[in-house]
Amino acid sequence: MIGQQLTRFASGKVRQSHEVLQLEEVLKSVLALRSRETQARGIALKPQLKSARIIVDGSLLFSLLNATLDWALANAHAHIDFTIDFKTWPVHARLTCRFGHRPVEPGLAGVAPAVPPRLDSLTWRLIEQTAWTMGLEVDRRDAAGVTTLVLEFPKTAGDE
């Protein structure tokens, strides 16, 4: 199914229906729908969400947020932090997903660990392709056992 979605998005033939949405409300609903799953896996969710109005296709946003949570849940060790804030110039809403992808081992502080190959899964490729289809900027950094994904929304209607 992920392969089919990747092919569909990569074809460039996705018709989007843009609307103004509250990013934090959509994220809260995804997190609420998946709360039993996160609790069953023993993963704590730590959202710090500012109000952000964005202009995107609603179904693609919902798909992107679910894929991001799937990917983070498959790789997170203890908790997942979600933050919504704003880039100052130009003003763009940003969604940050941050998690430790392995437990910190004593005695290895300062040693650059290898990035686990599972971080580059098909689900990660789906996140990338969905974001690109939506015209979002994607920045992922893997360092010292911590992965940080930032999705930047260029079509920001403003904060309230």
Q: Which pLDDT tens digit goes with each residue over 108-154?
A: 555 555 667 789 999 999 999 999 999 999 999 998 889 999 999 99
The backbone torsions φ and ψ at residue 36, rounded to the nearest 5 degrees and listed phi first, read -60, -40
**How far is residue 80's CA from residue 22's CA, in Å, rounded to a whole number?**
21
Distances (CA, A) of 1 to 5, 13, 31, 54, 62: 6, 18, 22, 28, 16
pLDDT at res. 158:
56
Indicate the SS3 state at residue 51: coil
pLDDT of residue 160: 41
Top pLDDT among 114 and 33 is at 33
pTM: 0.86
Instruction: pLDDT band for 89, please (50, 70, 90 cuts).
Output: confident
Residue 112 pLDDT: 52
Does 4 have pLDDT greater than 90? no
Least confident of 10-19, 54-63, 86-95, 137-146: 10-19
Q: Is the per-residue pLDDT at 38 higher than 60?
A: yes
Sign for the CA dihedral angle at 94, 81, 142, 125 comes to negative
